[in-house]
């Protein structure tokens, strides 16, 4: 997954088909894009863990709006399109949605698969 993000970074820096001829410049290009991509991936995993923890704690009571406010309170506001991110978590089977009469947006619920992902992720961090 992170290799594709690195490729996108290369392209945005003007390197669509190759890399600098100079070995030192080529290494610097790779190193900078690689580190930036891994940092982005680490942040996404932190956000994923936080979102799943918040859904677990407020199971079936929060929409994307409450999640967005909580993410901002934790310093992760504006990191991307939260609704798209939530739809990806649904596709992964980590969360599900339900509707309620008083809410125009779906409410998010933790699935067993999401619970397992969260427990495994937290265990890996401790190890």
Condensed to tens digits (0 to 9), the pLDDT of residues 79-117 reads 678 888 899 899 999 999 999 998 899 999 999 999 999
Domain that holds residue 106: 2-126
Sign (positive or negative) of CA dihedral 109, 114, 115, 121: negative
- Residue 106 backbone phi and psi in degrees, to 5: -65, 150
Name the pLDDT band for 126 (thresholds 50, 70, 90).
low
Q: Which residues pair with 110 in a beta bridge?
A: 95
When divided into structural domains, the chain yields a total of: 1
pLDDT at 28 over 60: yes
CATH number at residue 10: 1.10.10.10
* Cα 117 from Cα 13, distance rounded (Å): 35
Average pLDDT over residues 10-31: 80
Condensed to tens digits (0 to 9), the pLDDT of residues 46-66 reads 889 999 999 999 999 999 999
pTM of the model: 0.71
């Amino acid at each position: 997954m992170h290799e594709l993000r690195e490729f996108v970074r290369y392209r945005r820096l003007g390197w669509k088909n190759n890399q600098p001829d100079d070995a030192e410049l080529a290494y610097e290009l790779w190193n900078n894009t690689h580190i930036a991509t891994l940092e982005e991936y680490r942040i996404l995993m932190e956000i994923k863990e936080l979102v799943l923890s918040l859904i677990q704690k407020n199971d079936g009571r929060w929409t994307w709006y409450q999640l967005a406010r909580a993410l901002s309170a934790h310093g992760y506001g504006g990191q991307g399109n939260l609704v798209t991110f939530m739809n990806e978590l649904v596709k992964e089977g980590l969360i599900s949605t339900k509707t309620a009469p008083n809410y125009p947006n779906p409410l998010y619920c933790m699935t067993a698969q999401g619970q397992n992902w969260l427990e495994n992720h937290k265990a890996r961090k401790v190890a």
